[in-house]
Structure 1
Amino acid sequence: MEKTMQPQAPAFILGIDVSKDSLDVCLLDCRDGSQLDYKANNNPSGFRRMKARLKQHGCEAGPDTLCCLEHTGLYTRQLVHYLLAREVRVWMESPLQIKRSIGMVRGKDDKVDAQRICRYALLHQREAKCVNLSGVTLERLKDLQANRSRLQKALQSIKVTIKELLAVDPVSGKTLEQVNRKAIRGLEKSMEQVEEKMQEFIAGDGDLKGKYDLLTGVKGVGKVLAVSLLVYTQGFTRMDEGRKLACYCGVAPFEYRSGTSVWGKAGVSKFANKQLKQVLHMAALNSVRYNQEMKAYFDRKVAEGKSKMSVLNAVRNKLLHQIVAVIERGTPYEIRLDKV
C-alpha cells in the first residue's frame, strides 16, 4: 500500500527509468543542484553497484532519498524491494501522468527519460505517495488475480468451443468434450486453489482483511470485485473518492459540449480500466437482483422512462460510492429503503 510522503524535504531525488535488463539513473542533490547520470544492471549485483556509486556522490540511499520511477510491471519489483529494505522513500508514478506533465516531446532516450522522471519528482514532491512494505501482499494478490484471469479465459475458450461444436456436429463435440474433461477439471481446480491462496494472503494482513470484509458486506460485491478494488486502489490509499474511482472504472458520465454549435449527450469515457469495469458491471447486475435498495432504484428509474443501460450505469456509480463510504466510515453498510 502507499502512504503520503513524510513532510521533510528529501536531500536527494533519484529518478530511475527501468527496463528489463538495465536501469538509467539520474541523481539530483537538492542541496547544491549537482546531478549524476548512471547506468546499472537491473539485478541485485547492479543494485549494489548503483548504491556504491551513489555513495561516492554523497548519497547514502536511505530515508533522506526520494526515488521516483514508473510502473513497469515485473521489471521494477526487485528494485523496489531492494530500496524499501534500505528505507528509501519509493514513489511509483503512472507513466502517463509523467508523460503528460512534460508536454510535447520528440524522440526517446532512456537517459533523458530518467532525467525527466527526476525533474518530475522535484517539481511534484509534495504530491508523492510512497510505497510501504505492506504493499507486498497486494503484489501477491495482483499476481494471483492475473493468473486467475488467464485460467478463466482458457477454461472459457475450451467450453465455448465444445458448446459450439456440439450444436453443429454432436459426434465431434462429444469427442472434444471427452478428451478435454481432465483439462477442464484441472483448470477449475487451479482456479479454486488460486482463490484459496488469495483468501490466505488477505487473512494474513489485518488492514486488508478489515477492508475486504467491509467490501463484501455490500450487497452485490463479491470476492472478485473486492480483491480487484483492493489491488487497483492499493488498499484504498489511491482513488479513495467515489468520483475518482468512478472515472477510473469508466462509469462516470461527462458532458460533451462547446459553445452553441457542439452539443452532445453526456456519456462515459472509454479511457478506463476495462477489466475492472467488466467486473463492476457483473456486480451491478447482481446488486439489482439481490440488493433491495438497488432493485427498488432500478425499477423506479426504468418506470420513469430511463433506458435500462443508463440506469444500470447509475447503479454502478451508486455501488462505488457505497463502497467508498463504508471504507471511509469503517462500518458495515446498512440498507435504507426509505432513502431510495
Structure 2
Amino acid sequence: MQKLSHSSLYAFIVGTDISKESLDVCLIRTSDGSLYYQKFNNNMQGFQRMKAWLKSYGCELETDTLFCMEHTGLYTRRLVHYLMSRQVAVWLETPLQIKRSIGLVRGKDDKVDAERIARYAFMHQNKASLVNLSNLTLEKLKDLQANRNRLLKALNSIKTTVKEMLSVDAASGKTLQRVNKDAIKGLEKSLEQVEQKMSEFIESDTELKKKYDLVTSIKGVGKVLAITLLVYTHGFAKMEDGRKLACYCGVAPFEYRSGTSVYGKTGVSKFANKELKRILYLVSMSSIQYNQEFKKYFKRKVEEGKPKMSVLNAVQNKLLHQIVAVVKRGTPYVEKLDKI
C-alpha cells in the first residue's frame, strides 16, 4: 500500500466522497502515511459502522481527526451534523477547487475520488476552512431563504394573475380574487413566519448577529440583502474583498479590449449570482432616494452625462465595498456626505 510523507496538523485525515445513498471513505494515518479505504451507507447505521472501522486503525473520531468532503448540498448534511456532535474538524471544500488542484484526470470512480479528496486535504490541511456553529446556522438560514423565495414566487404569481384578469375581465377577475383570498392570506402568513424564524436564528448566533447589525447599519441595507449576503458569503468568511464580492454579484466593471483593433465598452460579466444582483438592484434604487450619500452621488454623475444604469451599477459597487468595510472594521457605518 502506498504511503505518504508530510508534516501534519492532524493525526488522521479522512477524505469522503458522498452520494445520496453511500459514503466512500479514505483514511490517511499520518503517523506512518498509510491509506485505507471502505464504503458505507449514508445514514446513521453507516456512520456507526464507519466509526468502528476507523477505530480499528486507531482513529477515535475526535479533535485529532480532519474530515474533508466536497460540498454537495443536502447529501453532506447528516454526516456533517454527526461529526460536529463529536467535535471532529470538518472541511467542506468546493469540488472545483479540488479538481483544479489535481490537474487533468480521466474517468470517474468513487473510490479514487475519496482518495483524491484525502490527498488534497493532507497536502493543504494548513489552509482548511473548518465548519463551525455559525455555518450550521447559515445552513438553516439558507433553507429558510429558499423557502421564502418559493413562497414569494407563488404569491406574486397569484397576485399578477388576478391583477391581469381584473384589467381585461372584471367579473372573472373578481371571481379569481375571491377564490384566491385565503391562499394569498396563507402565503403572506407563511412569509411572515419564515422571516420571523430567520430573525430568531440570527439572534441566537452572537457572531452572525454582530455582522448582521454591522451590515444593516448602512442606510438602505435591510433584512433581505443582509441575510442573503451572510448566506452566500458564509458569514463573510469566503469573500473578504469588496472587488471579489462585487464580481460575484455581477456589478464589477471589466474592460473589453485587445491590441489596437478590439476595443469594446467596459461592462459587467454575466457570470454572477442572479439573486444577489436582483436584490442589490432594488436596494440601489431605494438608496438613491433615501440615502443622502448615494442620492448626491447619483445626481452629480447623471448631471455629468453618465448613463443612469451605469451610475446605478456604480452605486451597487460602492454599497458592497461599504458592507465589506464595516464587517472588516467591526464598527457601524458613519455617513460622510462630504466624501461623495
**Same fold per superposition (TM over 0.5):** yes
Match of 2:209 in 1: 209
CA distance in 1, matches of 2:105, 2:244: 28
Structure 1's 29 and 257: CA in aligned 2 closer, same or farther, altered over 3 A?
Answer: farther
**1:106-117 to 2 correspondences below 5 Å:** 106-117=106-117
Q: Which range is displaced more, 169-178 or 192-201?
A: 169-178
TM-score normalised according to structure 1 size: 0.93
**1:247-326 to 2 correspondences below 5 Å:** 247-326=247-326
Match of 2:34 in 1: 34
Match of 1:165 in 2: 165
Q: Which range is displaced more, 53-62 or 41-50?
A: 53-62
Matched to 1:16, the amino acid is: T
Structure 1's 75 and 174: CA in aligned 2 closer, same or farther, altered over 3 A?
Answer: same
Match of 1:244 in 2: 244
Match of 1:127 in 2: 127
Displacement of 1:317 in angstroms is 0.9
CA distance in 2, matches of 1:262, 1:98: 35
Match of 2:4 in 1: none
CA distance in 2, matches of 1:328, 1:30: 36
Structure 1's 120 and 265: CA in aligned 2 closer, same or farther, altered over 3 A?
Answer: farther
CA distance in 1, matches of 2:37, 2:289: 58
Match of 1:226 in 2: 226
Match of 2:14 in 1: 14
Match of 1:79 in 2: 79
Q: Which has the higher contact order (CA 8 A, sep 6+)?
A: 1
Displacement of 1:259 in angstroms is 3.6
Match of 1:91 in 2: 91
CA distance in 2, matches of 1:15, 1:243: 33
Match of 2:141 in 1: 141
1:268-314 Cα distance to aligned partner (Å, 9 max, x none): 22222211221122111111111110111111111222111111111
1:228-269 Cα distance to aligned partner (Å, 9 max, x none): 111122222221221121122121122333444443333222
CA distance in 1, matches of 2:304, 2:210: 39
Matched to 2:159, the amino acid is: K
Q: Does 1:178 align with 2:175?
A: no
Matched to 1:250, the amino acid is: G
Q: Which range is displaced more, 127-136 or 313-322?
A: 127-136
Give the secondary structure class of the aligned counterpart of 1:334: coil
Matched to 2:174, the amino acid is: K
Is the contact between residue 27 and residue 118 of structure 2 (CA under 8 Å) also seen in structure 1?
yes
Q: Which range is displaced more, 18-27 or 113-122?
A: 113-122
Is the contact between residue 8 and residue 122 of structure 2 (CA under 8 Å) also seen in structure 1?
no
Give the secondary structure class of the aligned counterpart of 1:14: strand
CA distance in 2, matches of 1:259, 1:151: 50
Q: Does 1:53 align with 2:53?
A: yes
Matched to 1:68, the amino acid is: C
Structure 1's 112 and 269: CA in aligned 2 closer, same or farther, altered over 3 A?
Answer: farther
CA distance in 1, matches of 2:255, 2:98: 26
CA distance in 1, matches of 2:315, 2:287: 8
Match of 1:155 in 2: 155
Match of 2:235 in 1: 235
Give the secondary structure class of the aligned counterpart of 1:256: strand
TM-score normalised according to structure 2 size: 0.93
Give the aligned length: 334
Matched to 1:194, the amino acid is: V
Give the secondary structure class of the aligned counterpart of 1:130: coil
Structure 1: tracts of 5 or more residues without a match: 1-6
Structure 1's 126 and 262: CA in aligned 2 closer, same or farther, altered over 3 A?
Answer: farther
Give the secondary structure class of the aligned counterpart of 1:124: helix
CA distance in 1, matches of 2:259, 2:124: 34
CA distance in 1, matches of 2:99, 2:159: 42
1:64-116 Cα distance to aligned partner (Å, 9 max, x none): 22211111112111111111122221111112222333333333222222222
Structure 1's 105 and 307: CA in aligned 2 closer, same or farther, altered over 3 A?
Answer: farther
Match of 1:193 in 2: 193
Q: Which range is displaced more, 252-261 or 75-84?
A: 252-261
**% same residue:** 69
Structure 2: tracts of 5 or more residues without a match: 1-6
Is the contact between residue 134 and residue 207 of structure 2 (CA under 8 Å) also seen in structure 1?
no
Q: Does 1:329 align with 2:329?
A: yes
Structure 1's 266 and 31: CA in aligned 2 closer, same or farther, altered over 3 A?
Answer: farther
Structure 1's 124 and 158: CA in aligned 2 closer, same or farther, altered over 3 A?
Answer: same
Structure 1's 259 and 118: CA in aligned 2 closer, same or farther, altered over 3 A?
Answer: farther
Q: Which range is displaced more, 46-55 or 203-212?
A: 203-212
CA distance in 1, matches of 2:62, 2:330: 34
Displacement of 1:339 in angstroms is 0.5
Matched to 1:36, the amino acid is: Y
CA distance in 1, matches of 2:26, 2:8: 21
Displacement of 1:30 in angstroms is 2.6
Displacement of 1:210 in angstroms is 1.9
